[in-house]
Chains A and B, each alone.
Chain A
Amino acid sequence: MIATTEIKVPGSFRDPSGFLFRQDGGLYRQVNQVYREHYDYLIQSGLYHELVQASLLIPHEEIFSVASVTSNLDHYKTLRPEPIPFISYPYEWCFSQLKAAALATLEIQKTALEFGMSLKDASAYNIQFIGGRAILIDTLSFEIYQEGRPWVAYRQFCQHFLAPLALMATTDLRLNQLLRIHLDGIPLDLTSSLLPWKTHFQFSLLSHIHLHARSQKRYENVSSSTRKDARLRKSAILGLIDSLETAIRNLRLSISESTWSSYYGETNYSDEAMKQKIALVGGMLDISAPQFVWDLGANTGRFSRLAAERGSYTISFEADPLCVEANYRTSQEKKETKIVPLVLDLTNPSSNIGWANQERLSLQDRGPTDTVLALALIHHLAIANNVPLGRIAQFLQPLCKQLIIEFVPKNDSQVKRLLATREDVFPHYTQETFDAEFNRFFFIERTTKIQNTERTLYLMQSRLF
């Protein structure tokens, strides 16, 4: 017998229907015997085909040669889902991404009901952005619809989608960060207390958030035996879903056109210097020819697009949620399939959280990627955030095989601006120190001065890989 290495995916343990595991480098999903009837119905009813055709569900193939060695007794089938280039989490999405994920979930539920099934989960973590689309990745989320049964995922949908979207649209765009603390969605009583009073006059928010939260508190001590008596017609569930869809569609960010244009236009480069930088970065991307790119500090994604146009699947990270919003809207307008804009603060990147600190992965544990772009970034980390250059190099080393990084010296106008309001306690922020520190962690392969600027572009190779 050939020895196999198998790891159960740590975030896949709640659902008794099955689990994800890695075996000999491949990612598989086991369908357990207990889920047999539902899985067969999903396939035979045509629902699977319909959702895959509509790009709403991840395609998979059934594999007969692989089975989990750890849970063999429960085994019904092994599926190999189409590979997902990068797993992102709802607290890393901008407003429009969360909205797209919410609408996709409702569309899936409506289609499922047409085919005699229903979503048993409405978790935002089951949705991923692949090829520019919000797609359900948990094939085992469906159950056969039982006439009269309410939608079991209603509360979860409100907590995972409606609550953060309502808070972002009406209170503060940054409040989706509450999803980092509340992994099963933002509690409705908390949402209700944070929403402005005027939302009591919006029927959808009054009902699905405020009164819903009140109902939860009012009946928190009522025994669950009272639940099983009542029945709900399918048309009532469709009415509920229609109401949720209207609520989600009506939530919009109120941002002026001038704010958007300032986001797109902000740069301290002359046209000539920008052209040269684009040519230089493009040339370095051509040399490294990465399959995957992480653009750190991507702003609205100008250089991410340079990578994506060359065929690299590019994750475009930026701390400013409005930049990410602008980036995502551009990617949707242009129907781009190789860019995923995400919100990420590099001074406090996503960490391992959830059960046993293993459920949702840190940025580092989702790497390494082929190439990291770190353009016009170093001064923000070193000067605005006081991180020594050596620590920046140490942080970047395990993230990527190649690094394309721009050094921005103290006499650059942007750095001067940063130093204008703070004491210059950065005597080691020099190009010589930068070279020496990065050389400890990377092989410096190319350096090029960007004409008409004070900046230098580097192509480096990690010493780890």
Chain B
Amino acid sequence: MNVPFVKLAKGSALIFLIQIVTVTPAFAYIDPGTGSYLFQMLMAGLLGSAFAIKMTWRNVKTYISQIFSGNAGNDDSND
């Protein structure tokens, strides 16, 4: 992934969040659909990357623990 794109994405996310938190309450009829939709696009984008890292890390941990337990077994048999 190229760095300028990441910067742009982060910048857009920040602007979006600032826009969200600076809104004033309005007691009018609300169609929450659009806001939910846009929010999901942003959140899922961010959480998807975090989830990918989490799953990769989990796989790495499983792989390492398998190697470790496998080696331990071999060591025992070699002894």
Query: B-contacting residues of A (Cβ < 8 Å)?
Result: 150-151, 154-155, 158, 187-189, 207-208, 211-212, 214-220, 222-224, 226-227, 230, 232-233, 235-240, 242-243
Show 30 residue pairs from A and B whose CB-CB distance is below 8 angstroms, ordered by the A residue.
A150-B41, A208-B43, A211-B20, A211-B21, A212-B43, A214-B21, A214-B23, A215-B35, A216-B30, A217-B23, A217-B26, A217-B35, A218-B35, A219-B35, A222-B38, A223-B34, A224-B34, A227-B38, A232-B41, A232-B44, A235-B51, A235-B52, A237-B44, A237-B48, A238-B51, A239-B46, A239-B52, A240-B43, A243-B47, A243-B51
User: B47 contacts which chain A residues (CB < 8 A)?
Assistant: 236, 239-240, 242-243
B48–A235 CB distance below 8 A? yes
A227–B50 CB distance below 8 A? no
Q: From A207, A215, A226, give the contact of B36 (CB < 8 A).
A: A215
User: B34 contacts which chain A residues (CB < 8 A)?
Assistant: 216, 219-220, 222-224, 226-227
In the bound assembly, the distance between CA atoms of A216 and B43 in angstroms comes to 14
The 10 closest A-B pairs by CB, nearest first: A236-B48, A239-B51, A216-B35, A239-B47, A239-B48, A216-B32, A215-B39, A155-B36, A219-B35, A236-B44
* Besides A189-B25, A211-B17, A227-B38, 15 new A-B residue pairs in contact (Cβ under 8 A), listed by A number: A211-B20, A214-B21, A215-B20, A215-B38, A216-B36, A216-B39, A217-B26, A218-B35, A219-B38, A226-B34, A232-B41, A235-B52, A236-B48, A239-B48, A243-B47
A218–B20 CB distance below 8 A? yes
Q: From A158, A189, A242, give the contact of B51 (CB < 8 A).
A: A242
Chain B residue at minimal CB-CB distance from A229 = B41
In the bound assembly, the distance between CA atoms of A201 and B3 in angstroms comes to 29
Secondary structure call for the A interface: helix
Query: In the complex, what's the smallest C-beta–C-beta distance from A215 to chain B, in angstroms?
Result: 4
In the bound assembly, the distance between CA atoms of A226 and B28 in angstroms comes to 22
Chain A residue at minimal CB-CB distance from B19 = A218
B48-64 interface bits toward A, Cβ cutoff 8 Å, 1 = contact, 0 = none: 11111010000000000
Is B11 an interface position by the 8 A CB rule? no
A217-B26, A218-B19, A218-B23 given; A239·B35 CB < 8 A? no
In the bound assembly, the distance between CA atoms of A249 and B23 in angstroms comes to 30
Is B70 an interface position by the 8 A CB rule? no
Query: In the complex, what's the smallest C-beta–C-beta distance from A243 to chain B, in angstroms?
Result: 5
Query: In the complex, what's the smallest C-beta–C-beta distance from B75 to chain A, in angstroms?
Result: 37
B side interface size, CB within 8 A: 31
In the bound assembly, the distance between CA atoms of A158 and B36 in angstroms comes to 10
Query: In the complex, what's the smallest C-beta–C-beta distance from A226 to chain B, in angstroms?
Result: 7
Is B45 an interface position by the 8 A CB rule? yes
User: B25 contacts which chain A residues (CB < 8 A)?
Assistant: 189, 217
Is B79 an interface position by the 8 A CB rule? no
B1-43 interface bits toward A, Cβ cutoff 8 Å, 1 = contact, 0 = none: 0000000000000000101110101101011111111111101
User: A236 contacts which chain B residues (CB < 8 A)?
Assistant: 44-45, 47-48, 51
Query: In the complex, what's the smallest C-beta–C-beta distance from A206 to chain B, in angstroms?
Result: 10
A155-B36, A207-B43, A242-B47 given; A220·B17 CB < 8 A? no
Chain A residue at minimal CB-CB distance from B29 = A220
Query: In the complex, what's the smallest C-beta–C-beta distance from B32 to chain A, in angstroms?
Result: 4
User: B32 contacts which chain A residues (CB < 8 A)?
Assistant: 155, 187-188, 216, 220
User: A230 contacts which chain B residues (CB < 8 A)?
Assistant: 41
User: B44 contacts which chain A residues (CB < 8 A)?
Assistant: 150-151, 232, 236-237, 239-240
In the bound assembly, the distance between CA atoms of A311 and B35 in angstroms comes to 50
Query: In the complex, what's the smallest C-beta–C-beta distance from A335 to chain B, in angstroms?
Result: 30
User: A207 contacts which chain B residues (CB < 8 A)?
Assistant: 43
User: A154 contacts which chain B residues (CB < 8 A)?
Assistant: 36, 40
User: A212 contacts which chain B residues (CB < 8 A)?
Assistant: 35-36, 39, 43
In the bound assembly, the distance between CA atoms of A235 and B43 in angstroms comes to 12
In the bound assembly, the distance between CA atoms of A243 and B51 in angstroms comes to 8
User: A222 contacts which chain B residues (CB < 8 A)?
Assistant: 34-35, 38
User: B20 contacts which chain A residues (CB < 8 A)?
Assistant: 211, 214-215, 218
User: A233 contacts which chain B residues (CB < 8 A)?
Assistant: 48
